[in-house]
Structure 1
Amino acid sequence: MSDSESRHSNTISDSDEYNDDSEHSERRVRRADAIELDRAIEEYVNHSHVSQYDQSLTPAHKYLGNQLRETSGRAVYEEGVVHVLPVIFLGINVVPGQILPMIARSTAMSKILKYAIARNRAFGVSYKLNKNKRTYGTIVEVFEHTDGIENLPRFHAKAMGHQRYEILSVKPFPESLEETIVLAQIRVLKDSTLLDPYSTLCLHPRRRTSKHDEVCRKKDMGQTQWPEWVYKQFDVNHLADRLTDKIRMAYKDVKISDDPDLLSFQAVRLGVFNQEQVSDLLGINSTNMRLQYELNYWNKNQSMQKFMCARKECSIPVCNMSSVFPMSPEGPQGTYCNSWGQIHDMITVTELDEDLDVTSVGRPSEECCWFPGYSWLIILCPNCQNHLGWRYLANNNKLMPRIFYGLCTRSITSTRNYLRDERPDFSDDLIIDY
């Protein structure tokens, strides 16, 4: 064979080998594509069977049963006027718009509910009766309850918070020695909001449009000796925007209200303020001032990133604040009642701290579960055995989230100062009218 023939033969041989390698490579690519397609199909099939938890079930409080009777009408108390109202000291606060579920098993709860339902269905809820400072609370009104409660030792009810009040004086509840219920003289507090501090400065308010707000404001500032930042301190929308930014920095999955008044109450139901602080904040008449206090508190505690065990001399980290997420359209913090009639304020989180090995008590149970489709398990702090809350497990593998946690707000804190009893005092000059 000549050299040219030999080179030609080698070329053909190399070409055949290249073609064989190319065919093998194409087969491998096709095989990989097929495997990837099978995986994609499998993931799609699995995902198509996954169902997200229906958050509308939570505020319905289905664990109270389906036999509750709806009521009609609404009691509205005149603001600034003294009224007599039955009040219960629950150890928690209720804010306007909040639902309060109740299972009346205790004598105190049973008596005040029967008393209220027999009249206009309204009663007051306060955190506790203060001796050295003013006591505030919220009027709640029963809107659903078990029928025929007169002769029942145990019954269920739902109430909603409406108006805020200040307690002026108290006297014992009729035919009762219970210290947690009283008949109180209250004054209903008036809600006031300074909407636009610039409006009185505007030379031509009718000509102002949304496009010219900033331009007009700068011109209006020329009429006053005060700089713009002074007025911004009282601009309710500016305050709401600043507080919203603070909340979003700490919580990633929480929907925030655009209404400044609603935001001022939503901010106290994120696990940041303890019950005494919330009680004091309820005494502030002005939405502007309430937002100022809340914003000031966030500014003083810029380092808030974790929830910790609230028991003194513990302070073990429990979870990141960014783990907070809602299991209800009302937000991540809710009020619930167990089968023994105990009322808990609870905030839901996706996960606990990696280093926190909580102690679990008992076996998963569906009894009186606040989230339909889940079972609960009591969890304790591994350091001090404080009751932190509950672990929730989905009964169906396709229900999402599979696992989440509910933390008692009285068992956690977001600031170490609270652990040392250095609590900020909001009680001075709280009643402020603009």
Structure 2
Amino acid sequence: MCFRRFYSNMKLRCLRPEDDENVELVNRVSLHDRDNGSVPAGPSTGTIHPQQGYAIDGLRNRFKLTYNIQLPSEHAYLGKLERVECLERFEPGSIHRIPVSSHHSIVYPGETIPLILTNSLLDFDGRYESSRIGLVFWEHSRQKRILGVVCQVCEKDVRESVIVLKTIAQQRFELVPQRDGALTRSVQRDGRAHYYAEVKILPEVLLPDPLASFCTSNMVKINNIAKNRLLAAQSSVWPKFVYDQYGSNEVLYKVRRFLEFLQIESVPTADPVMLSFWLARNIPLSETDRKELFFSNSVLSRMLLVNNILDYTCAFCCKKCDRRIANYVDMFAMSKQGVSSSYCNPSGFIHETLTVYRVVPKTARTTTKPSTDFSWFPGYSWQIAVCNACNNHIGWKFAATKRNYKPKKFYGLCGKSIRVASDRKVDDVDPGQHSGGGGGANPISNLRLTKT
């Protein structure tokens, strides 16, 4: 099955009669085209037949946001902040002493991280102020190695009892043990402990195409990359398909379709290193896969792991009772950062939040009244959402406070409270054979992502 047909069918299966916006769109498009005689009349159930190609443009309008996705990434709820001059990146392999703070989840380079600190952590030694802070992932160690990420402060504001920061994660690091074996040091100032550590900046290994060494000057003149690789493979020991298994061309093809599905345009596709981290943030991953991607120094290894993950569908389940809360096909990007971003509550706790259009019916309920205070999405009110089965906090329900905003409502799932569950590997099967109901299997289950 070709990618075009796959994603067209997938979007069609995503439409559910219980969604008021979907029903309105289906009826409007159906009546318009039926009156013009461009397509045959569809069934009276309010659904669209997969062969009715007229619905594709209508579906694009359904998934097109009217909300400015730039707003959430600005973290305006933090208030007015003062810009800080950015510093140059550290050299890979170099060792530096920086203030550190523990963090409960893995953060990938390129992500914007808001911080509200109850003490002046940046003034950690009393002699000078640092504009960098290290987030350490104590809960995600590997073979006694403790890793973290250097965050560059880009905006800040010092208030009465807290310091508010907006930072950008830049480089991965590993904690370097001191002579006595300790990983961190503390300095007591004003009755509070400030922690710092020696960190070693980890490299980002970008391997060249193994077929590049077989390319002759005549091949370089040919603009067709695929033809160049084929000619180069004929001069090597192994056939071309062997080299393709260790290349990123296949995963990039899948990624383009994934981005088309999410309607995301602002992606660092020109930088392979940042693209690998962007995919790690926005493709649903299990805790094991998240660690594997972060600990790998090889960009190619990350891309090959992403390539394997894209061959599976997934669901989002409650960590406490394992009940399915939302489906893969309901993800969308409410922020320019992608489908998953980090936001900070007034207490300073950072929530990694995944945005979905809806949850599975009767799986979640709200427990608070709508509020716009400290809203992560300007123009939307929020309510705390809990699992219907076990009352575990799973995230928030957001509702538009302005009439022209779309979506009118959506959910932000808390990364700390949900688990990514992989469904079976997708096969090349007609999607019409599977149920698209909210409580059933994923609508794109058993659909293999293959090129034709």
Query: Does the alignment reach a TM-score above 0.5?
Result: yes
For 1:120 and 1:186, the matched residues in 2 are separated by 15
Structure 1 SS opposite 2:187: coil
For 2:72 and 2:187, the matched residues in 1 are separated by 35
Match of 2:233 among 221, 227, 231: 221
Q: Which whole-Å deviations, capped at 9, do the CAs of 1:135-166 have from their partners, x for residues lacking one?
A: 2221101111114x5xx312311111111112
Q: Superposition RMSD on alpha carbons, in Å?
A: 3.0
Give yes or no for the alignment of 1:389 onto 2:402.
Answer: no
Structure 1: stretches of 5+ with no match in the other structure:
1-35, 37-46, 418-434
Q: Structure 1 residues 55 and 341 mapped into 2: Cα distance closer, same or farther (>3 Å)?
A: same
Aligned residue identity for 1:134: R
For 1:207 and 1:264, the matched residues in 2 are separated by 27
For 2:250 and 2:234, the matched residues in 1 are separated by 20
For 1:52 and 1:261, the matched residues in 2 are separated by 31
Match of 1:124 among 128, 134, 146: 134
Q: Structure 1 residues 327 and 94 mapped into 2: Cα distance closer, same or farther (>3 Å)?
A: same
For 2:297 and 2:200, the matched residues in 1 are separated by 12
For 1:283 and 1:210, the matched residues in 2 are separated by 36
Contact preservation (8 Å) 1:271, 1:413: no
Q: Which residue of 1 aligns with 2:419?
A: 413
Give yes or no for the alignment of 1:59 onto 2:68.
Answer: no
Residues 127-146 of structure 1 aligned to structure 2 (within 5 Å): 127-128=137-138, 130=141, 132-146=143-157
For 2:197 and 2:278, the matched residues in 1 are separated by 27
Deviation at 1:116, TM superposition (A): 8.9
Deviation at 1:270, TM superposition (A): 2.6
Structure 2 SS opposite 1:173: strand
Residues 171-320 of structure 1 aligned to structure 2 (within 5 Å): 171-175=184-188, 182-204=195-217, 207-211=220-224, 213-245=225-257, 247=258, 252-255=262-265, 257-259=268-270, 260-270=272-282, 272-275=284-287, 277-299=289-311, 302=312, 304-311=313-320, 314-320=321-327
Structure 2 SS opposite 1:174: strand
Structure 2: stretches of 5+ with no match in the other structure:
1-34, 36-60, 178-182, 424-452
Specify which structure has the higher proportion of helix: 1
Deviation at 1:77, TM superposition (A): 1.4
Q: Which residue of 1 aligns with 2:171?
A: 163
Contact preservation (8 Å) 1:194, 1:236: no
Structure 2 SS opposite 1:295: helix
Aligned residue identity for 1:115: F
Query: TM-score of the superposition, structure 1-length normalised?
Result: 0.73
Q: How many residues align?
A: 353
Aligned residue identity for 1:113: L
Contact preservation (8 Å) 2:122, 2:129: no
For 1:62 and 1:367, the matched residues in 2 are separated by 12
Contact preservation (8 Å) 1:116, 1:122: no
Residues 345-424 of structure 1 aligned to structure 2 (within 5 Å): 345-356=352-363, 358-415=364-421
Deviation at 1:331, TM superposition (A): 0.8
Match of 2:83 among 63, 70, 79: 70
For 1:275 and 1:217, the matched residues in 2 are separated by 36
Q: Structure 1 residues 138 and 116 mapped into 2: Cα distance closer, same or farther (>3 Å)?
A: farther
Q: Which whole-Å deviations, capped at 9, do the CAs of 1:245-299 have from their partners, x for residues lacking one?
A: 5x469x5444555343333112222362245543442222221111112223444
Structure 2 SS opposite 1:115: coil
For 2:304 and 2:172, the matched residues in 1 are separated by 19
Q: Structure 1 residues 120 and 172 mapped into 2: Cα distance closer, same or farther (>3 Å)?
A: closer
Aligned residue identity for 2:105: I
Deviation at 1:377, TM superposition (A): 0.3
For 2:291 and 2:269, the matched residues in 1 are separated by 23
For 2:100 and 2:288, the matched residues in 1 are separated by 17
Give yes or no for the alignment of 1:330 onto 2:342.
Answer: no
Aligned-pair identity (%): 26
Q: Which whole-Å deviations, capped at 9, do the CAs of 1:368-424 have from their partners, x for residues lacking one?
A: 11011111100000111111100011122332221111001122222169xxxxxxx
For 2:256 and 2:220, the matched residues in 1 are separated by 30
Deviation at 1:330, TM superposition (A): 1.4
Contact preservation (8 Å) 2:204, 2:298: yes
Structure 2 SS opposite 1:307: strand
For 1:87 and 1:276, the matched residues in 2 are separated by 24
